[in-house]
Structure 1
Amino acid sequence: YLSLLNKQMTCFYSIDTNNNKLNLSSGLSNIKINSTPPTVGSYLAGLLEGDGHIILPKFANGKISYPYIAITFVNKDLPLINKLVEMFGGRLRFKNKENAIVWIVNTHKELINLITIINGYLRTPKIIKFNSLIVWLNERYHYNIPIHSADSSSLNSNGWLSGFIEAEGAFKVRYSEKRIDEKTNKVLTKGRIEVRFALEQRKNIGPHNEESYKPIMLKLHSFFCFNTDLRESKHNEGETYWIVEVTSLNRLNLLIEYLNNYPLLTAKRNDFEDWYKVYQLIADKKHLSEDDKLTIKIIKSNMNKKREVFNWDHLVYLNKV
Structure 2
Amino acid sequence: MYSTISHTQIEKNKFSSYLAGLIEGDGTIIVPKSERSPKGVLNYPSIQIVFHLKDLPLALLIQKNLGHGSLARKKGVNAYILTVNNKLGLLLLLSLINGYMRTPKIYALWKLIDWYNIKDSNLNLEKKPLNTSNLTSDAWLSGFVEADGHFSVRTTKNDKSTRIECKFELSQRQIDHNGKSNLYFLENIAELLSTVVKPVRVDKPNPEYRVRTTNLKGNLNLESYLNNYPLFGSKYLDFKCWIEVVDLFKSGKMDHKLNIEKVIKIKSNMNDKRTIFVWDHLNNFYNLDK
TM exceeds 0.5? Answer: yes
Pairs within 5 Å for 1:88-103: 88=66, 89-103=68-82
More strand by share: 1
Letter in 1 for 2:62: L
Separation of aligned partners in 1, 2:279 and 2:31: 34
Q: What pairs up with 1:69-84 in 2 under 5 angstroms?
A: 69-84=47-62
Identity of aligned residues (%): 37
Residues paired across the two proteins, number:
274
Partner Cα distance (1:225, 1:191) in 2: 26
Which residue of structure 2 aligns with residue 125 of structure 1? 104
Corresponding residue of 1:210: 179
Secondary structure class of the residue paired with 2:180? strand
Where does structure 2 lack aligned partners over 5 or more consecutive residues?
1-8
Tell me, which stretches of 5 or more residues in structure 1 are unaligned?
1-33, 180-186
Could you tell me which residue of structure 2 aligns to residue 111 of structure 1?
90
Query: What is the root-mean-square deviation of aligned Cα atoms in Å?
Result: 2.0
What's the CA shift string for 1:1-46, capped at 9, x where partnerless? xxxxxxxxxxxxxxxxxxxxxxxxxxxxxxxxx9961111011101
> Of 36, 39, 55, which residue of structure 1 is paired with 2:14?
39
Q: For the residues of structure 1 that align with 2:127 and 2:209, how far apart are their CA atoms?
A: 28
When normalised by structure 1's length, the TM-score is 0.80
Question: Aligned equivalents of 1:94 and 1:119: distance in 2?
Answer: 28
1:315 to 269, 282, 286: 282
The structure whose Rg is larger is 1
Question: For the residues of structure 1 that align with 2:111 and 2:139, how far apart are their CA atoms?
Answer: 24
CA contact (8 A) 1:171 1:271 kept: yes
Residue of structure 1 equivalent to 2:127: 147
Change (3 A) 1:304 1:236: farther
The C-alpha deviation readout for 1:124-168, integer Å capped at 9, x for no partner, is 111011111011112212302211111111111111111111111
Shift of 1:293: 2.5
Query: Which amino acid counterpart does residue 144 of structure 1 have in structure 2?
Result: N
1:245 aligned partner: 212
Note the C-alpha offset of 1:94: 0.2
* Distance in 2, Cα, partners of 1:164 & 1:305: 19
Residue 178 of structure 1 deviates from its aligned partner by 3.4
Q: Distance in 1 between matches of 2:44 and 2:17?
A: 25
Q: Distance in 2 between matches of 1:236 and 1:166?
A: 28
**Secondary structure in 2 aligned to 1:97?**
coil
User: Residue 271 of structure 1 contacts residue 303 of structure 1 at CA under 8 Å; is this kept in 2?
Assistant: yes
Counterparts of 1:288 and 1:245 in 2: how far apart (Å)? 21
| SS in structure 2 of the partner of residue 101 of structure 1 | strand
Assess if the C-alpha contact under 8 Å between 1:199 and 1:244 holds in 2. yes
